Structure 1
Amino acid sequence: MGRGDLSDEEWVLLEPHLPKNVGRGGRWKNHRTVINGIFFRLRTGIPWRDLPERFGSWKTVHDRHRRWSADGTWGKILRSVQTKADAAGRIDWSMAGVDSTVCRAHQHAAGALRHAPRVPGSCTWPSWHRTDEALGRSRGGLTTKIHLVSEGGLRPLAVLITPGQWGDAPHMIPVLELITVPRPGGGHPRTRPDHLAADRAYSSRRNRRYLRRRQIGHTIAEPENQRANRRRRGRAGGRPTGFDPARYVRRNEVERTINKLKANRAVATRFDKRAFVFHGTVTAAAIRLWLSG
């Protein structure tokens, strides 16, 4: 077993959730070798063509990652791993955090063709395909932003990618609505934490109304200009927002989760041209955190 490869314990957790052999030829027979190659590239950020020979053909590793990113397989594996963790009581639903991080896009990430990729073996497009390829231009160049919700155990519950210059507050609701952890015994999946912590970038009436409607307790810092505007309006400004400093301390958990994700060089710097492939890269990094946690 090479450095960074799946351990036997991690493989036992992951193997039941992988796609089974389909069609002729047994093309999925070397799952573990190929996934180790995907994780090696994820950790090191090297070009696909430079993968060590012990992982087999670089094209096989690249094509499987691209296919699983396009047809949603990585997302299904993530939900399956989360479901097993939830059944074992290893998800801390008492507190979740929402935050975002900007990733610099490598020059090789630009220049994708102006048409949506077709899912292999299907006549439809990936539902998460972005026509803007989640690339935004800033003073520093091309960037991509990762929005995520993490649970108290420092593992992502949901991820969303957008262009780097897009704001945080408008994407709190979309990323929260991506939380879906099925229950093994049936019934509705778990879709909300008990409490949410976020910094002042997420403070807005729309976000607070949404959280109250879903009965999610929240501790969100309020910017000074919003407090001053409420005071200026007097009684029409409404009541002050509640804020619990003791709960807010736990907001560092989502920041530590981001640090763990960006320890993977292919996440810290975006090398993938397609947004759906980079989304698959971030999802694969999240899966690795769930396996090692």
Structure 2
Amino acid sequence: MKKFVGYIVAIIAVLLLVTGCGSGNKEATSKSKDGKEVTVKLGFVGSDTDVWDDVKKRLKDEGIDLEYVKFTDYSQPNVALDNGDIDLNSFQHQIFLDNFNKEHGTNLVSIGNTVNAPLGIYSEKIKDVKELKEGDTISIPNDVTNGGRALLLLQTAGLIKVDPAKKQAPTVSDITENKLNLKIEELDAAQTPRSLQDVTAAIINSGIAVDAGYIPEKDAIFLEPVNETSKPYVNIIVVRKEDEENETYKKIVDAYQTEETKKVIEETSKGSSIPAWDTFGKK
């Protein structure tokens, strides 16, 4: 009789354990099968994590722990993503990604828009682009997409003209008019702020400018206008193609594209970044 009662108690205990585990998994679908948090490695360039810090706190409730992996230049995060060293990254726009996939034979895709970060012309020597003189030197990023974007910005500022057939990817050799004979110096994007001591002006990506202590809306002597032509330059969250429908990564995008995130972007970027998902779509 004692053995029988013992068997019954054991069976009830097992049933309770199974039931408890099942309900826990339903409540936190982002957690692993043992109920622990899922760690997701996010790669980006620069040191500013204010916006992602806010998103990270809210993702905790979803059972997702974001682990930051910081890179020093634009050549690294996509390689790390393709190799599986990180799970997703957030540092680039669609044109940059398209060019990377083409050059490296990779299949990385966007799963969500984040911000539009206008490119700016900066200088420690002049206060207005109209002050540029014959033969002055301007440094620009040396990668294909940001370099082309920089040349288009110089064209918008009325300083040069480029071959329209090159659309959004002109190179220095595609300059068709340069009345001031401006010298264009191509540098790694991360080095453009440092070049300001040696050149008359530099075109600096927004995130790099902020990391260097500049407030784009205040310190740039000419800032890229935000309009329909800006859409290809909206920053994106990127994953490997096979992870495009990953539910955990979708939750990260959803947590980013919120009113709470908008407020943090507006407060911390001081106008250097503009929430993009309402204007240009969520993806």
TM-score class, shorter-chain normalisation, is under 0.3
Structure with bigger strand share is 2
Q: Which has the larger radius of gyration?
A: 2
TM-score between the two structures when normalised by the length of structure 1: 0.22
TM-score between the two structures when normalised by the length of structure 2: 0.23
